[in-house]
Structure 1
């Protein structure tokens, strides 16, 4: 790994590391996995038969996909700038708070849906409900 110095506008020198292949590939894999989780969750949400199922489809995107995207950003920062403790602490805080907001938001959406006394088993697409056995 080589360190390169660039002269900035105000005359200060900025040091950055040449990106390494290993961390670049790790960044790409984390970002792609995170994007796949978000895409698959969005697609499953679109195809969900009712509102409760749609709320449940948010879990993989917010619980796995977005933290993977945050980790990809941290690894990219390590690859370019080197270890920065503040960046790592912000990422851990963001992931923790994201998981807290996800849990609380899911709880509130479920309670709200239940409190409306809306028939959440009705198909959202306007299709026919399966006949109940007599």
Structure 2
């Protein structure tokens, strides 16, 4: 029971640190925008903060929990990567406008983001359902 509480504390700390890093990144770069599926959408502070929290959870899942159960972590990352690739093929190419520049977002970025989201889901599962 104590191990589960400690694990939940560690994952919450990783998520909080990631959220702060995301917020700092937003304030350093300014506003951003995402062009995808024929539309353009502003990306604000909440999106940066949320993405940072997800990245923090993924770091926790990849470092702390994956060593204990590599097969399950790899499964979560693979499912996330497939989901990211599926989103790419459904929406087409995308672009990100940030800090005065525009950058293309291709298949590799979608697949990588999906894998990160899968590891974050793995971390949450291990934190909540030990």
Q: Structure 1-normalised TM-score?
A: 0.33
Q: Higher relative contact order by CA 8 Å / sep ≥ 6: 1 or 2? A: 2
Please state which structure has a larger fraction of its residues in helix: 2
Please state which structure has a larger fraction of its residues in strand: 2
